[in-house]
Amino acid sequence: MPDSTPPLFLVAELPAGERTVLTGEEARHAGTVRRTRAGERLALSDGTGGIAYCVVEAVRAGREPELELRVERRAVQPAPALRVTVAQALIKGDRGELAVELATEAGVDALLPWRAARCVARWDEGPRGAKALARWRGTVRSAAKQARRARVPEVGEPVDTPALAAAVRRATRALILDAGAPHSIAGTPLPESGELLVIVGPEGGIAPEETKLLVEAGAEGVRLGPSVLRASTAAAVTLGALGALTTRWEYTDSAPE
């Protein structure tokens, strides 16, 4: 793998000095799963944009592996001027986790789990709902590492439709993905900065009364293309389109700190 994209590991805080020791779950993944060796390079990130590019000086194996690292340089991954939040309707089974994984790899900045009226999946208050939310957050964290993203998308608490309408009013622009909308996303004016809220409905579609509430709050329906996408893939396809239609992809890999 080129040095420009070394494997990335998330830490609570970036090292302040020239040397540090990677421990815990990330060290186990680096040492046991990836079989990292001395002389190889990796990157540490705090999940909020900071990056420390390091060379491995020593690997201590065992039940609790440790990697001795030397920091070669530091950088900051810039935040895009246009922040994209996806309100993703809850999807039953593994497809919900697939949706947030793909959206993270495609560059989403934040995710809002949406309890839409027609959702088959139900995240009830209590341990079951908390467990489901934790799975989404864990999936996002893993996907961010896979995509070498130094900014881990935030996964908010689940919202109902009135709360989502409030989020629409706060956003710079809000789009509802709707295969029957008269306008395509390619022909829709998009802001250059601020927050763009993209709303993805459940597999059964958004209920008419919900669409009415969201439109009254300021959202606009747009279609992606001639085909109908599944709820688990629509966000990722939209993010790809937004990358081409806006300046979100026009940045260097990282800016020097």
- The structural domains of the chain, with segments of one domain joined by +, span 8-76, 82-245
Asked if the model's pLDDT at residue 3 lies above 50, the reply is no
Asked if the model's pLDDT at residue 133 lies above 90, the reply is yes
Over residues 153-182, the mean pLDDT reads 96
Select the CATH number that applies to the domain covering 8-76 from these four: 2.40.240.20, 3.40.50.1240, 3.40.50.300, 3.40.50.150: 2.40.240.20
Give the predicted TM-score (pTM) of the model: 0.91
Over residues 23-46, the mean pLDDT reads 92
* Per-residue model confidence as pLDDT tens digits over 197-253: 999 999 889 999 999 999 999 999 999 888 888 999 999 999 999 999 999 987 655
For the purposes of burial, counting CB atoms within 10 Å of the CB of 16, is it exposed (0-12), middle (13-18) or buried (19 or more)? Answer: exposed
Stated as kind and residue range, the H or E segment containing 85 is strand 82-89
What is the band of 112 on the pLDDT scale with cuts at 50, 70, 90? very high
pLDDT of residue 62: 77
pLDDT of residue 252: 56
In this structure, the dihedral spanned by the alpha carbons of residues 43, 45, 51 and 56, taken in order and rounded to 10 degrees, is -30
What is the band of 4 on the pLDDT scale with cuts at 50, 70, 90? low
Over residues 15-32, the mean pLDDT reads 92
Over residues 69-98, the mean pLDDT reads 94
186 vs 160, 168, 178, 251, CA distance in Å? Answer: 29, 21, 14, 21
pLDDT of residue 193: 96
Tell me which fold the domain 82-245 belongs to: Alpha/beta knot (3.40.1280)
d(CA 175, CA 198): 5
Asked if the model's pLDDT at residue 87 lies above 90, the reply is yes
Over residues 90-107, the mean pLDDT reads 94
